[in-house]
Structure formats: structure tokens, C-alpha cells
Amino acid sequence: MLRVEDLSKTYRTGTRDYPVLKNLSFQVKKGEFVAVMGPSGSGKTTLLNCISCFIPHDSGRIFLNGQDISGLDEAELAKVRNQNLGFVFQDFMLLDGLTVFENICLPQVIADRPVPQMEAKAERFCEAFGIGRIRDKYPAEISGGEKQRTAVARALMNSPYIMLADEPTGNLDSRSCRAVIDAFLQAKKEMGATVFMVTHDSFAASFCDRVIVLRDGMIFTELTRQGSRREFMDELLEVLRELGGEGDDDE
């Protein structure tokens, strides 16, 4: 579904170079829920921005469902982002002037899909993610967890190949965090969704199938969940302690 080959990215300030990603290679299979973790400065956010082509990478290739999206022009990338990628952000990125239902419909409005089909799908998602009762409310009137579940529903509207989630639980309390993770798990189970999540939250990551841990722009290790969620979280915490913490990113 997603294949990254020898991805590198360096930021330049004046005469100084700051390598952030160093020949990263990995794959995410269809239906997988994969997290990326690592200490501050490890390259997590930069990696996500390169995969979504919001920032250019210096070398390497990115394949989405077999298509190399590395060299696409801006018009082609806009089409890929709308039709093949779903985005879930830490700060929700809902439009304040639209209701929950209208926000969910937005990707299909942009894609000029038939209204009856669009509204029927949005109705199904409202019920599936437990936000049917707030469908006519505006973002300012709902909780953080409800906003993020709305964002998950919106991200799935065009049946993307993969959902890219950037710290989706970062602004949420523990109850809302669990509700959002449950929404991802439900999307994976019932819709076959593929989720690639950048997070510093070991609790959220412990629900994933696999966690890629970065250090200094390289893959330090990959952990695959074998036993219980609690056992997997203990594994993650041990690795993060070895790396010296799990602070937020500013990359």
C-alpha cells in the first residue's frame, strides 16, 4: 500500500546542513495500523510531510498503491491527496462555518460526487463513529474527541488508500484519546482502512499492529505486536527509555 525507498531530507540554514531523514526504507501493508515514534528531532513529522508531499524530499522514492508519487506535479499531487490520502491532524482542521455533517461531506464536495450518494455515505459514517447526534452542530459546539472522530470520518469519505494521522490524540484527554483510537480500529476492521500514525503517545501506539521507532532520522527498530496491548506498551516504553524519552516533535 505504502512503500518508502531510501528517503532522505536535509534542511539548510545559511551554510549549515541539518540531515533529518537518512535513507529511510519501509513498507505499510493494506489494512495495517502502523505508528511512528521516536524522541524529539528524530524526523517523525518530517517523514509524514514528505509522504504527503507537503514538503519535498531530497532523494528516494515514495510509492502509493504501486504508483511512484515522488515526481508528480502539483495538480497531480492535489488529486492524489483528495482521492487517495486521508488526513487527520492534531488540531482537527475542521471548518468552523460548516456543521459536522458538512465537514464530513467536504472531500466528496471537492471531488464533485453526486449529492445523494455523498449524503448517504456521510450518514453511515456518522452512525458508525457515534457522532450522529451531533451531525448538525458546529465544531465550536462539540468536544475534542468528537471533533477528531469527525475528522476520521471525513478522512475516509473518498475511500483513501491510506490515512495519515499527525499526533491525532495530542490535544485530547484520556477518554477522548481512546474514542479516537477506537475509531481508527473500527475503520480498520469494518472498512479495511490502512492507518499510518505519527505519535509520541505510547498508549495510542500500543493499539497498533506495528511501531517504527526513529532515532536521528534513521530506523532504530521496528516492533510488531505479538501479545496483549499492555505487553506491547511495556515493550514500547522500554525502547523509548533506551532512547532517552518521548518528547514532542518540532521538526
Cα separation of 145 and 140, whole Å? 12
Question: How many other CB atoms sit within 10 Å of the CB of residue 172?
Answer: 22
Section 94-123 average pLDDT = 95
pLDDT in tens, 121-155: 999 999 989 999 999 999 999 999 999 999 999 99
Whether the full predicted model's pTM is greater than 0.85, yes or no, is yes
Q: Sheet containing 195-198: which strands, arranged edge to edge?
A: 85-89, 162-166, 195-198, 33-37, 210-215, 218-224
Cα separation of 216 and 24, whole Å? 11
Cα separation of 242 and 175, whole Å? 28
* Secondary structure string (H, E, C) spanning 120-156: HHHHHHHHHCCCHHHCCCCHHHCCHHHHHHHHHHHHH
Tell me how long the chain is: 251
What pLDDT shows up at residue 247? Answer: 46
Indicate if the pLDDT at residue 245 is higher than 80. Answer: no
pLDDT in tens, 62-104: 999 999 998 888 899 988 988 899 999 888 999 999 999 999 9
The fraction of the chain above a pLDDT of 90, given in percent, is 78
